[in-house]
Structure 1
Amino acid sequence: MQRKYPNLCKPIKIGNVNFRNRMFSAPMGGTDITADCTIGPASTAFYELRAKGGAASVTVSECVVHPETEGSHMFHLDLETVGSLASFTYTADAIRRHGAIASVELSHSGQYAGTYLTDKNKKQGLSQWGPSAAIRPDGLPVKELTQELIDDIVAAYGNTAGLAKRAGFEMVMIHGGHGWLINQFLSPYFNKRTDKYGGCLENRVRFAQEVIDSVRKAVGVGFPIEFRMSGSELFEGGYDLNDGVEIAKLIESKIDLLHVSAGTYQRGFGITHPSMFLPHGSNVYLAAEIKKHVSVPVATIGGLNDPEMMEEIIASGKADVVEMARALLADHELPKKIVTNKDKDIVKCLRCFTCMAERAMTSTRRCTVNPLIGRELGGSEVIPSPHPGKVLVAGGGPGGLEAAITAAKRGHKVILCEKSDELGGILKGEQAIPFKYEMYELGVTLGKLAKDAGVEIRLNTTVTKEYVNKENVDALIIAVGSEPLVPPIPGLHGDNVVVVNDYYLEKDKVKSEVVVLGGGLAGCEAAIHLAQEGKTVHLVEMRAELAPDANIRHRPILLGEIEKNNKIYVHMEYKGLSVTREGVVCADVACVEHLVPGTTIICALGQRARRDVAEDLIDCAPFVREIGDCVKASTITTAIYQGYHAALDI
């Protein structure tokens, strides 16, 4: 078979182990970590899904090697805890049975113990240990590790690696990046020691070398050791790329794969995990430069989801392996689709951070575009219905499309009606904002998948009670979405006003000075985009905070983009009273009126569920289900999740 992406699909031998392609599933934290810190069945299924999807390697994340000095509630692997070894064995087996190599990340957070605790107050009761005594930015004291504790931790890395091998893992990854303990020793910012572990670079690398030696002794020659490092810490006071090159040279002879990431978790989350405001592959240059100086294979990572970009990375010699995390949540079958030349079917990651926000909020996982994530135990295969019927889906947004695809996979005859001339629903509006373009592409991809699944799509078709009766369907899924909220503010219907949903149709109307009325997520992202185009933007919000509807991972990055852009002027606790040719007249909290200047007004005051449409259809078929924004204006995540499960219930 002629592979469209031959370099990505090419096998690679690392140590004595053969990997089926160059696409690895990077570490992602588990979900149901038991009270004893073993791997729960939901986490086993979570990791297994990426193996089923064709990844060459799947790495179980964050196995804490030394709980005595790192009391985070993450995975532990030991012989004392009942079920610990067994849980790792079952997980390794679940990964390997699908042809992927099971790996586990050996970790110690050092002075950042407790980062992943849902109850952050519990961090107060943890001992924080690091290379040097310090006070953390949040006020928690950090104790300096003694030589005795260092020796104990080094030995623990080896003991845990040996147990991982015993459990059936065929590779281990040593986490030496992102601000965790090994990185803290490498970093001049964290490491102020004056003994053999501090000072010059050779001394700061010593702890990492001792850890690798301990692991090698436990697993033996030929067993692959992957070392994850930050190519540069990317902040003032940390080490830079030149130092990253030297660190790599000092450890390469001891490892089998050098995994080059970027930054530190605590001082650059949106850089280590490139946000939608950064280019895809923005950290690849670090791996590419380090690869020039080492002979060991190099892996790269960072917002990668495009097959052409990843193929070029391998073909040009920037790296030998590409690793993905979020991209394989969005579409766990991404590697399989690339290998089988079905890359046009890939559902791309939106870099919206729903996955990471959900873990922080509920200790589970969820993905905006993949309803299986975190709920894999419910089944990852769509089972054909024993009683296929006729299904009508009203609405061609993301929820309706997901419902139609799933119902068609179950063997139903599916008709999807969309009242406009294009599929995608609210996603259509994202095509004019470059950093959100993949949201628009989501609608395009889902439309293709629906057609490929045999869904009959009828555009320019409004579903009414009479229409449903005429079609005589067995099931109706109501996905008619929401509509923009345009309150009765004088002048808000003027020709100098553009509703944010319609910006893609009317962007030529937008002049050089803009007022964005509404500081929710949509308004903030519109303001950032317009400022990036060079326009002066006044962002007006009635509440005391911006973007409260953004998730807790995306929101700080979003606010940082607003803060650093000198073209954006924020007006908080301003209530819009009227729109004029000169701007928006607003009242502040003291009821004093102000004119916020702008020749174009973007109305971004939120969405309202189309309840009237939904309620008119509610009794039109034996099985009826309302999904997505027509129930309550919400998120793409909610729409897709509800659409998928509505179709399973028919």
Structure 2
Amino acid sequence: MERKFPHLSSPIQIGNVVFRNRMCSAPMGGTDITNEGAIGPGSKAFYELRAKGGAAAVTVSECMVHPQTDGSQAYHLDLSIPESLPSFTYAADAIRRHGAIPSLELSHSGMYAGTYMADKNKKGSLCQWSASDGTRPDGVPVKALTKEMIADIVAAYGYVAGQAKRAGFEMLMIHCGHGWLINQFLSPYFNKRTDEYGGSLENRCRLAKEVLQSVRAAVGPGFPIEMRMSGSELFEGGYDLMDGVEIAKQLEEYVDLIHVSAGTYQRGFGNTHPSMFREHGCNVYLAAEIKKHVKKPVATLGGLNDPAQMEEIIASGKADVVYMGRALLADPYLPRKVMEGRDDEIVHCLRCFTCMAERANTFTRRCTVNPVIGREIEGDEIQPAPVKKKVVVVGGGPGGLMAAKTAAKRGHQVILMEKESELGGILKSESAIPFKYEMYQLTGTYAQDAIKSGVEIRLNCEATKELVEAEHPDALIIAAGSTPLIVPIPGLTGPNVVVVNNYYKEKDKVGDEVVVLGGGLAGCECALHLAQEGKKVKIVEMRDMLAPDANVRHRPLLMAELEKSVEILTGLRGSEVTAEGVKCLNKDGEEVFVRGASVICALGQRANRKVVDELIDAAPYVSVIGDCVRASTITNATYQGYHAALDI
């Protein structure tokens, strides 16, 4: 057959190993890491799903090679731990049996030891080691490694590499980027040593060179060794792209694949993991430049999820391999869909950081658009229902669509009733905000899947009790969503006010000077968009902080963007909207006037309980999901919709 994306779909040989395509699963840390650093069964299933989905290689992350100087709560492959080698063996086997190459990332956190510890207070009891003495930004003292300790760490890389090969891993990724230990030696910002490991670029590359040589000695010739490096550290005092080129040139003879990432976790999380505020593929230029100067294959990554863009990257010679992390959480079967020409079925990553925020908060995984993520061990395939039933779903937002398509895939007869003329629910409002447009597109992806699965969609169909009962359903899923909260403030329903949910329909009403009343996530993102359009924007929020409903990964990046162009006014409560702006009261009860001819009302959402109350007895089995339970997130709506359908 003729492949739609021939370059992306073509095999590649790295070392002595042939990879089935050019799409690889980037390193992603597991969740059920045992107390002694073994890979739990949940994490094994987590990695296996990306292998089933068609990735060429799946990288297990992170295996810390030297627990004596790196007490991070991560994987440790050590024969002194009885469950260690078996857990790695089962993980490698789970990946390999689906045709993917199992790879293991070998790391050392250096001064950032303890980053992945669930109990952050325990970090203070760890010894933090790096290239040089110093103090971390959080005040933790850092000690310089002695030459004897360096030699011990180098040997540890070789030891763990040998055990990884024994366990069945067929490639190793050596983490030399993102501010971890080897990067700390490469970086002039961190490395102030005056011995043979510091000073010149050649000296700063010495630890990386010794580590790579140690790994090669352990695994032998032809075994693929991949070096993950930051093409540039992207901050003042760190090394730049030209230095990155020289680092790659100095180390390429010791590796089979040069994996070019960007930045550091500590000084540019949004660079290493490009947010929705950045262009897809914004870091590809780093790999493209390095590729011009080396002979070994080069890999790139960074917010990639579009097959056409990835095809162009390979076809034009910018890189030889593309890596995806979050994109393969959103749709683990993305590579397989690319290979089969089904790219129109791909569920795209929203770059909302739910996945990474959940790991930081609860040490688990969750994905906004994929309810299976983090729970793969419970089953990642929808099973047919033993008894086929008639199901009515009320509401065509993300939760309702997920419920409808899941129920239909189980073999049920499904009718979806949507009172408006367009599907999407609250996601329709995202169509006018470019950096959130993929959220709007999610509706189309879910709807297409629902229709292919056999769902009957009825638009302009308000679900009354009589209408639902006339269908005689066996089960009813109510996903009626929420409505904007409009508080009784004089003038809030005036002609110069646009409710944030309706901005996509009334954007022409918004002038050049805008007051956004409400500093939650929706208000902040709308404010940022308006500022990006060149408008003068002010956010009025009665609390002391903005966007408390944003997750811990997304919020700092959002705030950094807002601070560039939006005036932020906290501690003010709106009391009246006029044609010239908003009258507010501060905490002392004093009146403050905030000027702006246009006002965006973004005061939150209220659950549509009235619909629930009317329909609660309209079928023998009723499940209520999403915002009509409590105004919350797309993540909760899709997750609840999926499981409501599985329960029928």
TM-score band, normalised by the shorter chain?
Answer: over 0.9
Q: Secondary structure at the match of 2:174?
A: strand
- Amino acid paired to 1:331: D
CA distance in 2, matches of 1:499, 1:492: 9
Corresponding residue for 2:581? 583
Q: Secondary structure at the match of 1:454?
A: coil
Q: Secondary structure at the match of 1:446?
A: helix
Query: By how many angstroms is 1:594 displaced?
Result: 1.2
- Amino acid paired to 1:593: E
Q: Secondary structure at the match of 1:348?
A: coil
CA distance in 2, matches of 1:351, 1:119: 27
Query: By how many angstroms is 1:204 displaced?
Result: 0.2
CA distance in 2, matches of 1:234, 1:572: 32
CA distance in 1, matches of 2:622, 2:2: 46
- Report 1:18-57 matches (<5 A): 18-57=18-57
- Report 1:140-179 matches (<5 A): 140-179=140-179
- Report 1:344-359 matches (<5 A): 344-359=344-359
CA distance in 2, matches of 1:437, 1:35: 41
Corresponding residue for 1:572? 570
Corresponding residue for 1:188? 188
CA distance in 2, matches of 1:187, 1:537: 40
Query: By how many angstroms is 1:619 displaced?
Result: 1.2
The one-character-per-residue Cα deviations of 1:512-569 (angstroms, maximum 9, x if unpaired) are 000000000001101110000000001000101100000000011111111122xx11
Find out whether 1:534 has 2:534 as its counterpart: yes
- Report 1:597-612 matches (<5 A): 597-612=595-610
Corresponding residue for 1:439? 439
The one-character-per-residue Cα deviations of 1:613-636 (angstroms, maximum 9, x if unpaired) are 112111111111001000000000
Query: By how many angstroms is 1:86 displaced?
Result: 0.3
Q: Secondary structure at the match of 2:387?
A: coil
Corresponding residue for 2:247? 247
Corresponding residue for 2:422? 422
Query: By how many angstroms is 1:118 displaced?
Result: 2.2
Corresponding residue for 1:471? 471
Query: By how many angstroms is 1:36 displaced?
Result: 1.1
Corresponding residue for 1:643? 641
- Report 1:191-230 matches (<5 A): 191-230=191-230
- TM-score, structure 1 length as denominator? 0.99
Query: By how many angstroms is 1:122 displaced?
Result: 1.0
Query: By how many angstroms is 1:360 displaced?
Result: 0.5
CA distance in 2, matches of 1:487, 1:145: 60
- Report 1:291-330 matches (<5 A): 291-330=291-330
CA distance in 1, matches of 2:179, 2:409: 45
Q: Secondary structure at the match of 1:4?
A: coil
RMSD: 0.5
- Amino acid paired to 1:629: D
Corresponding residue for 1:384? 384
CA distance in 2, matches of 1:596, 1:375: 48
- Amino acid paired to 1:413: Q
CA distance in 1, matches of 2:65, 2:379: 32
- Whether the aligned pair in 1 keeps the contact of 2:69 and 2:127 (CA below 8 Å) is yes
- Report 1:623-638 matches (<5 A): 623-638=621-636
Q: Secondary structure at the match of 1:63?
A: strand
Corresponding residue for 1:494? 494
- Whether the aligned pair in 1 keeps the contact of 2:358 and 2:366 (CA below 8 Å) is yes
CA distance in 2, matches of 1:145, 1:563: 39
Find out whether 1:61 has 2:61 as its counterpart: yes
Corresponding residue for 2:337? 337
Corresponding residue for 1:278? 278
Corresponding residue for 2:619? 621
The one-character-per-residue Cα deviations of 1:273-309 (angstroms, maximum 9, x if unpaired) are 0001000000000000000000000000000001110
Query: By how many angstroms is 1:508 displaced?
Result: 0.6
The one-character-per-residue Cα deviations of 1:361-419 (angstroms, maximum 9, x if unpaired) are 00000000000000111100100011011111000000000001100100001111111
CA distance in 2, matches of 1:381, 1:350: 22
Query: By how many angstroms is 1:82 displaced?
Result: 1.2
**Which ranges of structure 1 fall in alignment gaps of 5 or more residues?**
none
CA distance in 2, matches of 1:122, 1:464: 56
Q: How many residues align?
A: 648
Find out whether 1:256 has 2:256 as its counterpart: yes
- Amino acid paired to 1:594: V
- Whether the aligned pair in 1 keeps the contact of 2:542 and 2:573 (CA below 8 Å) is yes
- Amino acid paired to 2:594: V
CA distance in 1, matches of 2:600, 2:117: 40
Q: Secondary structure at the match of 1:75?
A: coil
Find out whether 1:363 has 2:363 as its counterpart: yes
CA distance in 2, matches of 1:194, 1:587: 60
CA distance in 2, matches of 1:388, 1:327: 33
- Report 1:79-158 matches (<5 A): 79-158=79-158
Query: By how many angstroms is 1:197 displaced?
Result: 0.5
The one-character-per-residue Cα deviations of 1:57-113 (angstroms, maximum 9, x if unpaired) are 000001000000000110000100010000000000000011000000000000001
CA distance in 1, matches of 2:620, 2:8: 48
Q: Secondary structure at the match of 2:414?
A: strand
- Amino acid paired to 2:537: V
- TM-score, structure 2 length as denominator? 1.00
CA distance in 2, matches of 1:339, 1:451: 23
CA distance in 2, matches of 1:585, 1:479: 37
CA distance in 1, matches of 2:414, 2:175: 48
- Amino acid paired to 1:603: C
CA distance in 1, matches of 2:275, 2:12: 30
The one-character-per-residue Cα deviations of 1:425-452 (angstroms, maximum 9, x if unpaired) are 1001001000000000111111111111
The one-character-per-residue Cα deviations of 1:305-341 (angstroms, maximum 9, x if unpaired) are 0111000000000000000000000000100111111
CA distance in 2, matches of 1:295, 1:505: 53
- Whether the aligned pair in 1 keeps the contact of 2:73 and 2:118 (CA below 8 Å) is no
After TM superposition, what 4+ stretches of structure 1 lie above 4 angstroms from structure 2?
Answer: none
CA distance in 2, matches of 1:279, 1:80: 46
- Amino acid paired to 2:251: I
Corresponding residue for 2:462? 462
- Report 1:386-405 matches (<5 A): 386-405=386-405
Find out whether 1:237 has 2:215 as its counterpart: no
- Amino acid paired to 2:406: T
CA distance in 1, matches of 2:452, 2:440: 19
- Amino acid paired to 1:555: R
CA distance in 2, matches of 1:240, 1:185: 15
- Amino acid paired to 1:104: L
CA distance in 2, matches of 1:269, 1:549: 20
Query: By how many angstroms is 1:133 displaced?
Result: 0.5
The one-character-per-residue Cα deviations of 1:24-73 (angstroms, maximum 9, x if unpaired) are 00000100001111100000000001001110000000100000000011
The one-character-per-residue Cα deviations of 1:469-516 (angstroms, maximum 9, x if unpaired) are 100011100000000001111100011100001000000110000000
- Amino acid paired to 2:606: R
- Amino acid paired to 1:201: L
CA distance in 1, matches of 2:449, 2:424: 13
Greater shift in the superposed pair: 556-565 or 543-552 = 556-565
CA distance in 1, matches of 2:619, 2:64: 53
CA distance in 1, matches of 2:617, 2:222: 65
- Amino acid paired to 2:240: D
- Amino acid paired to 1:59: T
CA distance in 2, matches of 1:480, 1:465: 13
Q: Secondary structure at the match of 2:184?
A: helix
Q: Secondary structure at the match of 2:365?
A: coil
